[in-house]
Amino acid sequence: MARNRYDVDEELETPFNMANLKNVFVYVGRYKWKMIFSLLLSAVGSIVGLTGPMLVQRAMDVAIPQKNVQLLIQLSCLLAGTILINIGFNAIRTILVAQVGQNIVHDIRKDLFDHLQVLPFSYYDNRPHGKILVRVVHYVNSVSNALSNGILNFIIEIINIIFIIFFMFQVSPPLAAITVAGLPVVIVFILLIKPKQRRAWQSVNNKNSNVNAFVQESIEGARVIESFDREEENDKILDRLLDKRKKSWMGAIYVSNTVWFTTETVSQIVFSLVYIAGAYWFNPMVSFGVLLAMGTYASRFWQPIVNLANIYNDFINAVSYLERIFETMNEPAIIEDKPDAEKLPPIQGSVEFKDVSFGYEPGQMILKHVSFAAKPGESIAIVGPTGAGKTTIVNLISRFYNIENGAVCIDGHSVMDVTIHSLRSQMGIMLQDSFVFSGTIADNIRYGRLDATDEEVEQAAKMLHADEFIRNLPDGYNTIVKERGGGLSQGQKQLLAFARTLLSDPRILVLDEATSSIDTSTEQLVQQGINLLLKDRTSFIIAHRLSTIRDCSRIMYVADGQILESGTHDELMEKQGLYYHLYMSQYRREAVTKQAEV
């Protein structure tokens, strides 16, 4: 799949369908009792409210002509009572529906987040992260109202309409017939405009998503942007993206407003017709009270229709968000446990690649027939030119990707046949970019073993010679780290990551360029720590600085997805092959640099 960019609209793979509608009702269904109760409150409130015009009619046609003050007072009290009941019930309903809306948002967002955590790396590789973020944060929020208030109001307005039709036909069947006659016009118009309206809102989402992706990328790359003085160019890009967003938004609003405009126009025409017909039939067929009541009913009939049109607009908008939300939720996890997956027993440490061929994209093989075996406790260094496939080899041991050709076995168990949790919980992986999470220094070290005591955290840091710099921080181990470790040097971040890995006590260890950011003097200290880390565990070390891997049990030279040489440092140096030349060229370079420094 081609990678999506911030300036390219994402294609919608699965438009909103019946299965998604079912999913929506699963979320809403969890709060059905609150919804039903709210519905009852609204129904009772609105029935009570609907008696109002009848009370007015009775006052106009009976109490006032007969000068019956007592009846007039009774009718006024009843009217005040209906208004109070309506207000009270509405207040309770508003609170309940707000709760339901927030609970639905909470549930969808949690499920979406849970699913994102098991999606394969390829999902993240193929789209800007801002486009993922906007779904979890913005889209979920935006569907809350449509799924709580929207659904409820939809049912309420339908009930309202049914009751109003009933009351209207009680009061004056011919005027009632005129009032409902405009309805089919509105329905036909809505059906005709629906596809255009849906496309318009999908486009708005795409443009929103693009803006989000660009802003997110710009925040992540703020340092690079400033160092390359790219602010002006980036402003222009954002301007273009905002412009496109504005245009698509205006287009969608325009389409949506035609629904509202048509409904309003038809309602006003019908409204006028009711008065014209009422005047035409005035006395004896239509009394003054009937005309007054019918005027109120006609406006009350069309108000729910206008409301329904607005609810419909919101719903079409929400559907375009739901499409994206469910698209992510329906994205297959790919890297998941087989139905009969077993728990990987405590790892002894033998690792074997059996004729493994692998590619990220179909038809593009990165690893070609790779076979090797590591015994428990061995440290295997993987070296070779950039893009050779070194990281890909170690990615497969942790099963970050599925292996379709050949097998990777740990203690004889194929990594494809064991549960991912049992595999990864026994592995330690340290990457070049040592990610530092929000929280304190101690939280970061404790990340892989939450039950570690403060003493254990400090012990791990001491062993990796990180204790000294940590104690020099303002609050020592309790210092809150800045976003992504800002305020710490690359080397310090890596020392933290080492301590984190040591504390989690993995059975198999992967160090991918893990010492690249540590300066030479610190490196000697860290090397002792690494030796500690490697002790009694099988480890795979990818290093460009060959001085760091001389003592490894075995060194594999990888190029073009194949292992071209394998042996100890001494064996490979004696062989004077690819490794020898790589080592010598690096050695000479370092010697020249050292001389220049002297």
Residues that bind ligand ATP (CB under 6 A): 125, 360-361, 366, 384, 386-392
* Distance from C-alpha of 53 to C-alpha of 298, rounded to nearest angstrom: 11
Shorter beta-carbon distance to ligand ATP: residue 306 or 556: 556
DSSP readout, 115-129?
A: HHHHS-HHHHHTS-H
Tell the smallest beta-carbon distance from residue 481 to ligand ATP (Å): 26
Q: Order of strands, edge to edge, in the sheet holding 538-542?
A: 427-430, 508-512, 538-542, 379-383, 554-559, 562-567
* H and E: helices and strands count for the chain: 21, 12
Cα→Cα distances 375→244, 395, 430, 540, Å: 58, 19, 21, 12
Q: Are 176 and 168 in contact (CB under 8 A)?
A: yes
Nearer to ligand ATP, 359 or 377 (CB): 359
Q: How far is CA 71 from the centre of its chain?
A: 62
Nearest one of 497, 503, 537, 535 to 516, comparing CA atoms: 497
- Residue 94: CB atoms within 10 A of its CB come to 13
Q: Per DSSP, which regions of 375-516 are E strands? A: 379-383, 405-410, 413-414, 427-430, 439-440, 480-481, 508-512
* Type of residue at 148: S
Beta bridge partners of residue 567, listed in sequence order:
555
If the CB atoms of residues 292 and 365 are measured against ligand ATP, the closer one turns out to be 365
Q: What angle do CA 394, 399, 400 make, to 5 degrees?
A: 85
